[in-house]
A and B are shown apart, each in its own frame.
Chain A
Amino acid sequence: MQRLSVEEDFVENFRARVTRAVAARVEAALTSPTPVHERLVHFWSNHFTVSAAKPGAVALPPSFEKEAIRPHVGGRFADMLLASTKHPGMIVYLDNWLSVGPNSRVGQNPNRGRRLPGGGRPSGINENLAREVLELQTLGVNGGYTQADVQALAAIITGWTYERPRLRDLVADNLATRTGGQLFEFDADAHEPGPKTLLSRTYAQTGVAQGEAALGDLARHASTARFIATKLCRHYIADDPPPAAVARVEHAFRDNDGDLREAMEALVDSPEAWQTPFAKFKRPEEYAISVLRSANVRDLPLGAGIAALAAMGQRPYSAPGPDGWADTADAWLTADLVFKRIEFAQAYAERIARADVDPVQLGQACLGGLMSDETETAIRRAESPVQGFALLFGAPEMQRR
């Protein structure tokens, strides 16, 4: 029997598994009695992006989201950062399994290292994960770090990898009671020995404790509080987040040791979050879910549903890069994407149009006082129920939040 490499195994199996995972994600969003929680899962799984757009990581985002993100959205940021950085999904997506300290035992004798699928063995430091932890996940690109800090963090997390033979089980859902995060493995032979200095602080710990300490400090850094608060407010309030709200969330985050529940409560308590008309243009997945929830559609036909999300620009689990999906209207409010939303509205209008549901009543039920007179009049004057639903789903009030 021909043995498949782990990577070949992914590709072999990915389509069905990712499709099932997308269905589970959408189903959770559509049926959850606590949609606020699902929204947070989506936000954080985008902050810590693991994308199926990278072939080597193609089957990993769902388990990453389930195991590294979901348990922590109401917990502490430091825990989520650590869970993310130790999860095989992130370690594969941002290449840390390929990173070998030059003075480690493997670095000194590359034949001791793991064999790569295409031949050869990894022999040097790979900065990818360390760079994105600093730039995209903690301090932010202007958070006050240098290339030397990137190199230091990269050296600190050399040897952070995963149990290779078991990755196949993770992909195949065969792990029994273990989670993907428990496949984390510290490979002491690949770890760059010695103390390292990151952001002027020297980490003299040995082994995995060195990285755990460094990530803990990054999670509690003032730049991180600012960066996370800005991203939360940009996501929930406005593309150009109001400084007063950012400051409130930043303080709540910092004063409570990165407690994400406290940060969210500060955000929800901000008057800026409740101003109408709503300024945020929904991203395609948010838009689709809100249309389907309002139409009481509880399932998305798999192939067509994923194709529709992809057509609107947001194939689930497939963000274009480690910076995740854009969170501002300029990326989404474009001619082509707006048109594709109208096509989506039409498709679901056709699906749910029935004699016993009136589009005006549905609009009143799901938009309440937010429905404009113009929209209500347009729906009333529609030539058919299908057109009425299409106008409701395509209306400006449905596009923004």
Chain B
Amino acid sequence: MLNRRHLLAGATGAAALSFPLFAFGQAQATDKRLLVIILRGGMDGLSAMPPVGDGAYASLRGRLAIARTGADAALPLDDTFSLHKNLAKMHALYRAGELLPIHACATAYRERSHFDAQNVLETGAPGPFARGEGWLNKALGALPQSRPEMGMALSAQAPLILRGPAAVATWSPSTLPDVESDTIERLMALYEARDPALAQALDSAISANAIAMDAGAGDMRAGPRTITPIAQTAARFLKNDNGPIAAVLDMGGWDTHANQGLEQGPLARALTALDDGVDAFKTEMGPAWANTVVIIATEFGRTAAPNGANGTDHGTGAAAFLAGGAVRGGRVLADWPGLTPGSLHEGRDLRPTTDLRAMFKGVLADHLSVSNAALERDAFPESASVRAAQGLLRA
């Protein structure tokens, strides 16, 4: 493997600037770990976490109402809320006090475009396309740089949440042939001489491959519906002494405009994949799970009532989850607005009463010790009125 310091000493411009070289090895290592799972497409929170105890739920949801009793009944959380039966492993986490379900939450965004909504979810800004940097990148950049890359994307490209000035790693499984290390070294020299951006990317890839190989990442070819192998690999990176402290993985398949199903169907399958992925991640983390928080969030919820195609359209208030040994779970966090016609947002969507930024800030502050100043200034601009949620984590 190539020597990072040697390579960086020769790099110029952007590459050198974005690596705070002086800090390597000096910063206090933290044992806290964070995984963010972004559910892209808008998860239907009223199916994932149905408020079966709300008197208006069954009639409003009609054909898409989840049963309260029977073989396909939802798994109870409290008097009001349940989990979809395909989230059984997450329900077990709840019973162990390691899952904190959140309902009726949203970013600052109130329109219904996926791309704008994901942009706001990931930038932490009050509106879409206000900036090109992600809140996790900015928060990690404000921490002591205890390792070469504090953040990592389990995808070929860093999602917006991880883009920004702080160096982040990316890794995804390969189906292509190996390249001799001698060829890589020669290309590295060429990139250093001619193209610093390529040099920086290649250097980061070399480090990530080394960790994945050390950890014995085997056959990663996963079916379209599973995130289990990639979640296990995320755990391997997070456990590595020189690996990232925060990782992000994406999961698509939530944009259920038509025939989304109830106990079975595309949505139910996606929930199973999420449930299995979280469970596999926990197992792979081993003892480190105790110091871990998993944030599971989506860009918006879906319409409260089904549409004419047995699906749901883009909505507003959503469900989210915090999981992990560090989470003070076993309770539901929701200022429930209700589902009567008058209580719906614009007469059609679950009204958001909890700002997701307050959740994210609470995790960053209490779990990763990101300073208040950095949260306000860097991670979530113009969010002073949105205070970090207290008490999300175990004391």
Contact = CB atoms under 8 A, between A and B. Distances in A.
Contacts of A274: none
Contacts of A110: 308
Contact of A120 (B63, B132, B252): B63
Interface stretch (B202-210, B233-241, B321-329): B202-210
A334 B175 contact: no
A219 B308 CA distance: 30
Interface string A372-401: 101100100011000100110011100110
Interface stretch (B23-31, B153-161, B285-293): B153-161
Interface residues of B, number: 62
A320 B201 contact: no
A131 B113 contact: yes
Most buried by A among B156, B179, B202, B205: B156
A399 B190 contact: no
A272 B88 CA distance: 58
Contact of A378 (B63, B129, B189, B209): B189
B116 A126 contact: no
B252 A336 contact: no
Interface stretch (B50-58, B78-86, B256-264, B367-375): B256-264
B305 to A, nearest CB: 9
B5 interface: no
Interface string B105-123: 0000001111110000000
A121 interface: yes
Given A333-B197, A335-B170, A340-B156, A346 B179 contact: yes
Contacts of A337: 156-157, 170, 201
A307 interface: yes
Nearest to A136: B115
Contact of B155 (A323, A336, A375): A336
A390 to B, nearest CB: 5
Contact of B186 (A117, A347, A391): A391
Contact of B163 (A321, A330, A383): A330
B173 to A, nearest CB: 8
B326 to A, nearest CB: 28
Contact of B179 (A136, A326, A342): A342
A215 B128 CA distance: 26
Interface residues of A, number: 68
Given A117-B259, A335-B208, A336-B208, A141 B157 contact: no
B349 interface: no
A230 B194 CA distance: 29
Nearest to B162: A334
B129 A141 contact: yes
Interface string B275-314: 0000000000000000000000000000000011110011
Nearest to B207: A335
Contacts of B113: 131, 135, 141
Interface in A53-99: 53, 55-56, 95, 98
Contacts of B174: 311, 339-340, 343
A339 B146 CA distance: 25
A319 to B, nearest CB: 12
Nearest to A121: B308
Contacts of A339: 174, 201-202, 205-206, 209
Interface in A128-161: 128, 131, 135-136, 141-142, 147
Which of A332, A336, A346 is the most central at the interface, judged by chain B CB atoms within 10 Å of its CB?
A336
A100 interface: yes
A85 B63 CA distance: 31
A347 B190 CA distance: 19
Contacts of A383: 182
A338 B175 CA distance: 14
B198 A338 contact: yes
Given A121-B308, A329-B197, A336 B156 contact: yes
B156 A378 contact: no
A327 interface: no
B328 to A, nearest CB: 35
B19 interface: no
Contacts of B189: 378
B363 interface: no
Given A121-B308, A339-B205, A340-B174, A346 B261 contact: no
Interface in B33-48: 40
A318 B206 CA distance: 28
Contacts of B259: 116-118
B309 A126 contact: yes
Nearest to B193: A374
A126 B314 CA distance: 10
Contacts of B172: 336
A335 B169 contact: yes
B307 to A, nearest CB: 5
Contacts of A374: 190, 193-194
A335 B171 contact: yes
B187 interface: yes
Contacts of B208: 335-336
B187 A342 contact: yes
A155 to B, nearest CB: 14
B176 A95 contact: no
A395 B189 CA distance: 10
29 contacts: A116-B258, A118-B258, A124-B309, A127-B313, A128-B313, A131-B112, A131-B113, A141-B113, A147-B111, A311-B156, A320-B40, A336-B170, A338-B201, A339-B202, A339-B209, A340-B174, A342-B179, A343-B176, A343-B178, A347-B177, A372-B193, A374-B193, A375-B194, A387-B183, A387-B186, A390-B183, A395-B194, A396-B190, A399-B195
Given A98-B258, A141-B129, A378-B186, 12 more contacts: A53-B252, A110-B308, A116-B258, A116-B259, A120-B309, A333-B198, A335-B201, A336-B172, A340-B156, A342-B187, A343-B174, A346-B178
Task: Name the 3 nearest CB pairs between A and B, nearest first.
Answer: A123-B308, A343-B176, A118-B259
Interface of B: 40, 63, 111-116, 128-129, 132, 153, 155-158, 163, 169-172, 174-180, 182-184, 186-187, 189-191, 193-195, 197-198, 201-206, 208-209, 252, 257-259, 261, 265-266, 307-310, 313-314
